[in-house]
Structure 1
Amino acid sequence: MQSSSELFPVALMSAELRGDLSEDVYRLKPGNSTDPSVELALTRLGRSGQEAKRGVPVILLHGSFSNRRFWYSPKGIGLGPYLARAGFDVWIAEMRGHGLSPRNLNYRQNRVADYGRYDLPAIAAFVCEQTAQIPHWLGHSLGGITLAAALGGHYLGENEVASAALFGSQISRVYWPLKVPPVEWGGRLLLKRFAALSGSRLKRGPEDEPIGLALESLRWHGLFGRFGDSERDWWAGLVEVGVPLLAVGAVGDQQDPAWACRKLLEQFGSQTREFVCLGKKNGFADDYGHVEMLVSKHAQREVWPLVGHWLRQLQLPVGLKQS
């Protein structure tokens, strides 16, 4: 079934009721990149029976080795359903080759540069067309890095992003061995033997990641590396980004430490910038980890309401502001 989009081909793959939620799954074929085979799955969640009263749109971006189930379990639990039940119009994107998005022809070469330059703008255009509103964006880990790349590269701007929330996302952690050129070169030679990294074998998650992402990360963290591509310095571009911004780190996050998440926040030029470090020393029930900051019993009680408050007020609840 063809959607009503006038932007590019969009197929409505399914329209189902999941208990008290409505679930529409779209497949976008924007045809805006060097690989015309790219198709992107986008799941829309709302309250069953109230589809005509959808609220403010929010786009959720999963991290590496993940898919839409990070936000939305088969039992209807997750930040996605929480926000939908709170009245938000929730859109859950799945990157190339993840979840319901098929692997594109050049899957092996997929990079954050492609996601930020081509895929997120296409998702933004479709959501804006369908809702007639500017969406809020929330990314976890690599999802947040991809959102930062799109903003810093000026592929997304204030006409597509009402606010941005970055959970466990950073680019400043230093991997000293990669600063030694022979080590980086050896890593490249080794990785180029593979088409993808297996999330299940590495015990990182249910999905694979294309080797292009790993090679791109090696370049970022090399001796003369930078957060950007051959055309644009995304890190430098963040200074010109003015959208309201929330960054969240966690005391127990060993993968993306809180200090580095805060450094990413501070690079933005936004006048409205808020930072939260989830840990007992700041009044939270747990020293949250990288995944637990959004997927845990404590997160349901403490973090999800915080997200809802931010999306409504674009500021943290009284008592949570951290210097």
Structure 2
Amino acid sequence: MPLNYESIFIDLKTEQNDVLHLKRIYQKDKEGSELQNLPSILLIHGSVENGRIFYSVNGKGFGSYLAENGFDVFVADLRGKGESKPNISSKSNFGQTEYILEDLPTFANKVREIKGHFPAYWAAHSWGGVMIPPFMLRFPQVAEAAKKMVFFGSKRRIRTKGVEKILKIDFVWNFLGKISSKTLGYMPTTKFGFGSDDESSGFIKESNKWIYEDKWICKDGFDYQSSFQNLKQKNGYFPPTLHIAAAKDTILGNPNDVKLLKEEIDNQSDELWLLSKSNQNLHDYDHNNMLTHKDAINDHFPKILEWLK
């Protein structure tokens, strides 16, 4: 059946007149009517990118694949990213705290408005998978509605060492990020030649703290590490999560750092997969092409689909 790609715009009612974009991808029947009772999944992108990491209008990508296989797919563009407006600039007075406490709840509520319930499944790429766990802790009613989650190349702390880490993280993300935030009011990553979207100064500051510090604390003082420990002690519910790492993802989602995030959440039902030739995958994938490679649809996507179902 043909896929329908629908853009949904949500007014955040902020001083900057921020409008969020949510792409919905789903099947219609032969008469053109929406198929009913399809399970919902909300996809969250990472830093210096937007929701297009998950789909293309010609039917490619993980989001399109899920829709072809019976999911009602919702792909978020976080504030200032993709088709959300306005684009990030020196006027962007938000960071990852606002993404966690305002954007993600708004997207989840929009899915509930459309489907009658919060998203049944979640998926994320890179830093998107770092923001979802704190969001779930702050909004337990959304966590309780979620059956499973999949994180691609998601890491919080970067403990990998080497020249690449010094260049990409210490120099570009940390040093240039701080300098550009002070001089320009934001980080124009697209002008620096990497990523499809810029980042706000608030996001640069907050994400750097989480990358370098062992403590996992929000700027409002909420301690996520302690909250996960308390949740485990009380036998509370957290959605089973599949953490996916790629063999050639050497710094942005190094398998060891992905494992660190899994251990930090410390959910017994979580799993960690490594996409590599040694694990019978077709390729040693990297940070982005684990989602965009043309062979993914016949390689690991079917296995992920089976895990979700």
Fold-level similarity (TM above 0.5): yes
Counterpart CA distance in 2 for 1:193 and 1:175 is 29
Quote how far apart the aligned CAs of 1:36 are.
7.0
Q: How does 1:177-216 map to 2 (within 5 A)?
A: 188=178, 191-216=181-206
Aligned match of 2:41: 58
The amino acid across from 1:247 in the alignment is H
Question: What percentage of residue pairs aligned between the two structures are identical?
Answer: 27
Aligned 8 A contact 1:63 1:140 in 2: yes
Aligned 8 A contact 1:294 1:303 in 2: no
Aligned match of 1:138: 123
The amino acid across from 1:40 in the alignment is L
Counterpart CA distance in 2 for 1:207 and 1:43 is 17
- How big is each residue's C-alpha offset from its partner over 1:46-88, in whole Å with a ceiling of 9 and x where there is no partner? 1133513251001111122222221111322111111111110
The amino acid across from 2:201 in the alignment is I
Aligned 8 A contact 2:90 2:185 in 1: no
- How big is each residue's C-alpha offset from its partner over 1:223-281, in whole Å with a ceiling of 9 and x where there is no partner? 68644323202233234252111111111102220111112112224342111011112
Aligned match of 2:11: 29
Quote how far apart the aligned CAs of 1:213 are.
1.2
Q: CA RMSD in A?
A: 2.8
Aligned match of 2:77: 94
- Any idea what SS the aligned residue of 2:244 has? strand
Quote how far apart the aligned CAs of 1:29 are.
2.1
Counterpart CA distance in 1 for 2:268 and 2:212 is 31
Query: Judging changes above 3 Å, is the alpha-carbon distance between structure 1 residues 56 and 221 closer, same or farther for their aligned structure 2 residues?
Result: closer
Aligned match of 1:172: 157
Does residue 110 (structure 1) correspond to residue 94 (structure 2)? The answer is yes
Quote how far apart the aligned CAs of 1:219 are.
2.6
Structure 1: unaligned runs, 5 residues or longer: 1-18, 313-323
Q: Which of 213, 217, 220 pairs up with 2:207?
A: 217
Does residue 121 (structure 1) correspond to residue 121 (structure 2)? The answer is no
Aligned 8 A contact 1:198 1:208 in 2: yes
The amino acid across from 2:269 in the alignment is T
Aligned match of 1:82: 65
Aligned 8 A contact 2:241 2:270 in 1: yes
Aligned match of 2:22: 42
Aligned 8 A contact 2:122 2:150 in 1: yes
Does residue 291 (structure 1) correspond to residue 276 (structure 2)? The answer is no
Query: Judging changes above 3 Å, is the alpha-carbon distance between structure 1 residues 258 and 169 closer, same or farther for their aligned structure 2 residues?
Result: same
Query: Judging changes above 3 Å, is the alpha-carbon distance between structure 1 residues 280 and 106 closer, same or farther for their aligned structure 2 residues?
Result: same
Name the one with the larger helix percent: 2
Provide the TM-score with structure 2 as the length reference.
0.82
The amino acid across from 1:43 in the alignment is K
Aligned 8 A contact 2:277 2:284 in 1: yes
Query: Judging changes above 3 Å, is the alpha-carbon distance between structure 1 residues 224 and 90 closer, same or farther for their aligned structure 2 residues?
Result: closer
Provide the TM-score with structure 1 as the length reference.
0.79
Q: Which of 290, 295, 299 pairs up with 1:302?
A: 299
Counterpart CA distance in 2 for 1:223 and 1:147 is 19
Query: Judging changes above 3 Å, is the alpha-carbon distance between structure 1 residues 84 and 149 closer, same or farther for their aligned structure 2 residues?
Result: same
